[in-house]
Each structure stands twice: as C-alpha cells, then as structure tokens.
C-alpha cells in the first residue's frame, strides 16, 4: 500500500463542504468481522482504527502474529491481531493494504483462506523516481484485477485508494470528508463495501464501475501525491451531483 502523505504538511480536514448523506438504504454490516492484511502499516492501521472506532469488529494481520498483536494492543478499541492466514480465516470482509511488491505473493498464499470472502483491494501499484510518483501497469491491468485472477473463489472489490494515512490515524479528527470509490463486478459485494466506507464519519461510498476500471482509480494516487506535495495537504476526492449513492 502506498501512502498519499509523503512530504505532506500537518494534518487538516478537507475544506470542501460535506457531501449529502446517501439516501439509499445500506445493508447491515454491524456484525461482520473486518480483517486488514497489512494492518501494521500506516494505511492499514489507519483503516483499522477508524472502523474499530465506528464499532466494527476488526482483526489486523501481519506476517508476524506477535507484531500484529502488539499493533492491535496499541490501537485498543477491541482490535485483535493475528498472522495473515488466521486474519483471513476469521474475517468476513478482508481489506488488502500491503505494499505492491508483496501483493501477488501474499494473495497466492492465502487463496484458500480467502475463498468465499469479500476482498477489498486498496493497493496502488506505483513507482518513484526523481520526478515523483508514477503509475505502474500490472500484467493483469491493475492490482484489483491481479487479486481477482489469484482469488477465483473470492468476491473481489476495490476501494479505499485515496485516503490519507495521516488523517486516518489522527485521533483529533472526528470526520474525514471524502468519497470512497468502490469498484467490483457483483452488486451485492460493492453495496457491502459502500456500507463499510460509510461506517467512517464523513465518508461516502460511491460505485465507480467494474474491476476492469480499477487501473485509473489506482493510478490517480500518483496525482494526489503530487497535489499533496505541492500544497502541503492531505487531499481527497468528492464526486459532485450524486445524491442517491
């Protein structure tokens, strides 16, 4: 997982006016367990914190169970820690928030544990050079499409790409005013992920197309990193003129 916050200034809430709350009824996900693979990294830890604070049951995973348990204890809020395989087995929805260079190997090794689960891929394949961040194009087309190819028995979606790890982890910020683009090929799965995004105050889940459209969503993070560096910000996205999300 690549953070948006490289070389950013101090955390601040978005200056945009809050988007209208969705009017369509969301599925009830209150009893579902959310696993975060890569939960000891900045983005995964931030998502785990926000979801647990909203009352979701959360397990964070790492290659080291001990490291995951330590991170969970630091977060509190009932968060549990386990190794990646156990996290996948014990969760209903599993967020993939690992670095791109370990993405394929991790999923290949967890295909059995992730079978039947809703998998939410938020990995951004990016490279960096002296000119800054730039998008990479995986052989499959995107990180999400790679996940779908490696996890044929899972319900793969893509979401949470454009969130600031700094804002997610800042306990002084109550609301993060941004939209979360959700992609996937199954309506029931994307509805659940939209509902998950909206557990976090200020966020709205917006359906943004099928998995074949994930590449440009993942790639946009390179542009947001450039915005953040230039303006010392923690930029997010708002989709205009959408009320019944």
Q: What is the mean pLDDT of the chain?
A: 91
Question: Cα(155)–Cα(64) distance, rounded to whole angstroms?
Answer: 26
| pLDDT (tens digit per residue) in 148-205 | 999 999 999 999 999 999 999 999 999 999 999 999 999 999 999 999 999 999 999 9
Q: For the chain, how are helix, strand and coil distributed in percent, rounded to 5?
A: 35, 20, 45
| pLDDT (tens digit per residue) in 217-235 | 999 999 999 999 999 999 9
Q: Which among 153, 117, 158, 119 has a CA at the least distance from the CA of 138? A: 158
Cβ 114 vs Cβ 86: under 8 Å: no
| Residue 244's pLDDT band (cuts 50, 70, 90) | confident
At 243 the pLDDT is 84
For β-strands 178-184 and 203-207, DSSP reports them as: parallel
Question: Cα(148)–Cα(96) distance, rounded to whole angstroms?
Answer: 12
């Amino acid at each position: 997982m690549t953070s948006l916050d490289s070389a950013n200034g101090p955390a601040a809430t978005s200056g945009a006016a809050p988007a209208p709350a969705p009017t369509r009824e969301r599925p009830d996900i209150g009893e579902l367990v959310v696993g975060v693979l890569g939960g000891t990294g900045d983005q995964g830890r931030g998502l785990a914190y926000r979801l647990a604070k909203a009352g979701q049951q959360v397990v964070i995973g790492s290659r080291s169970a001990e490291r995951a348990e330590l991170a969970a204890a630091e977060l509190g809020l009932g968060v549990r820690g386990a190794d990646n395989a156990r996290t996948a087995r014990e969760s209903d929805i599993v967020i993939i928030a690992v670095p791109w260079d370990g993405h394929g190997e991790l999923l290949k090794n967890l295909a059995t544990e992730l079978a039947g689960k809703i998998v939410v891929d938020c990995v951004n394949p990016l490279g960096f050079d002296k000119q800054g961040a730039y998008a990479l194009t995986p052989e499959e087309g995107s990180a999400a499409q790679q996940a779908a190819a490696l996890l044929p028995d899972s319900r793969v979606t893509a979401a949470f790409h454009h969130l600031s790890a700094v804002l997610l982890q800042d306990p002084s910020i109550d609301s993060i005013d941004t939209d979360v683009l959700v992609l996937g090929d199954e309506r029931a799965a994307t509805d659940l992920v939209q509902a998950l995004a909206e557990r976090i105050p200020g966020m709205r889940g917006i359906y943004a197309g099928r998995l074949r459209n994930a590449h440009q969503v993942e790639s946009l993070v390179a542009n947001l990193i450039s915005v953040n560096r230039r303006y010392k910000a923690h930029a997010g996205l708002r989709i205009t003129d959408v009320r019944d999300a």
